[in-house]
Amino acid sequence: MSTILEVRELTKRFGGLVAVNDVSFKIEKGEIFGLIGPNGAGKTTLLNCIAGTHAPNDGVVSFLGKKMTGYNADVLCRAGMSRTFQISQPFPRLTAIENVMVATIFGNQRSNIFNPEQWANEMLEYVEFPMPPETLACNLNTVQLKRLDLARALASEPELLLLDELAAGLTEGELHELMQIIRKIRDNGVTVLIIEHIMRVIMGLCDRVMVLHYGRKIAEGTPQSVAKDPKVTEAYLGEETLAA
């Protein structure tokens, strides 16, 4: 195995608030790596610092062996890192397929996509997008938007895919389908970092899990060992999500 992402001593502050505090970890190629922690723990902020949405105040992000700390999101995307957002951010007045075409045309420099429309269609099929491709994004519900997000993120043929709460709001059946799709993505060679509150998803998908609490890493290991760790159960005290 080789390391695809290494984060060293990363800190991100918002004024006096330390949202991510001296966090280090590595993700190996081919892993599904879970990032969990109570609300406000710093998960999205950490993902934003990796994916180029925020520049960290301190620390180093290395991707595919190269230091890429603070690079812009578009550069990171073309280098092989793509992400979804906790709250979907489609182009609302474009159709689903046009949204994926935008991601293909501007994000994919990895292979020569001869026909962006055909490629976008393939991406929608790959994620089992449940609506006609011509549906306007503003007419999609949250669950359909999450599928669209996934198709858009895959359109650039990433080596590392960062998913921020893709399973929120899904029914049991939809959850099962999504887990199958994420497994398929990994089996096709994409490494996955997944932020998720639903422990069933984390336990069922992840090879390793890291836990954040108040911006600090408090545990890392297999899903089973992390779920039993007293520091983790204490951090989640009063929250229903760990047991869900």
Ligand X SMILES: Nc1ncnc2c1ncn2[C@@H]1O[C@H](COP(=O)(O)OP(=O)(O)OP(=O)(O)O)[C@@H](O)[C@H]1O
List of residues contacting ligand X (CB under 6 A): 14, 17, 19, 37, 39-45, 86
* Cβ closest to ligand X, residue 34 vs residue 37: 37
To which H or E segment does residue 140 belong?
Answer: none
* Cβ closest to Mg ion, residue 105 vs residue 244: 244
Cβ of residue 11: shortest distance to ligand X, in angstroms?
A: 12
Region from 43-51, 111-119, 206-214, 226-234 binding Mg ion, contact rule CB under 5 A: 43-51
**Whole-angstrom distance, CA of residue 56 vs CA of residue 12:** 5
Question: What, of Mg ion, ligand X, none, does residue 40 touch, CB below 5 to 8 Å by kind?
Answer: ligand X
Q: How many CB atoms lie within 10 A of CB 27?
A: 23
Closest CA to 5 of 85, 97, 68: 68
Cβ of residue 16: shortest distance to ligand X, in angstroms?
A: 10
**Whole-angstrom distance, CA of residue 101 vs CA of residue 108:** 10
* Cβ closest to ligand X, residue 30 vs residue 40: 40
* Cβ closest to Mg ion, residue 44 vs residue 69: 44
Cβ of residue 97: shortest distance to Mg ion, in angstroms?
A: 28
HSE-CB for 164 with a 13 A CA cutoff? 18
Question: What, of Mg ion, ligand X, none, does residue 19 touch, CB below 5 to 8 Å by kind?
Answer: ligand X
Q: Where are the beta strands (DSSP E) in the chain?
A: 3-14, 17-28, 32-36, 58-63, 66-67, 81-83, 160-164, 191-195, 208-213, 216-221
Among 21, 44, 82, 108, binds Mg ion (CB under 5 A): 44
Cβ of residue 193: shortest distance to Mg ion, in angstroms?
A: 13
Question: What, of Mg ion, ligand X, none, does residue 45 touch, CB below 5 to 8 Å by kind?
Answer: ligand X
* Residue of minimal Cβ distance to Mg ion: 44
The answer to whether the CB of 171 falls within 8 A of the CB of 94 is no
Cβ of residue 189: shortest distance to ligand X, in angstroms?
A: 27
In one-letter notation, the amino acid at residue 125 is E
Answer yes or no whether residue 84 interacts with Mg ion by CB under 5 A. no
**Whole-angstrom distance, CA of residue 55 vs CA of residue 194:** 20
**Whole-angstrom distance, CA of residue 29 vs CA of residue 3:** 6
* Cβ closest to Mg ion, residue 43 vs residue 147: 43
Cβ of residue 37: shortest distance to ligand X, in angstroms?
A: 5
Q: How many residues bind Mg ion (CB under 5 A)?
A: 3
* Cβ closest to ligand X, residue 20 vs residue 185: 20
Start-to-end CA distance of the chain, whole Å, equals 32
Phi then psi for 70, rounded to 5 degrees?
A: 75, 5
Q: Which residues bind Mg ion (CB under 5 A)?
A: 43-44, 86
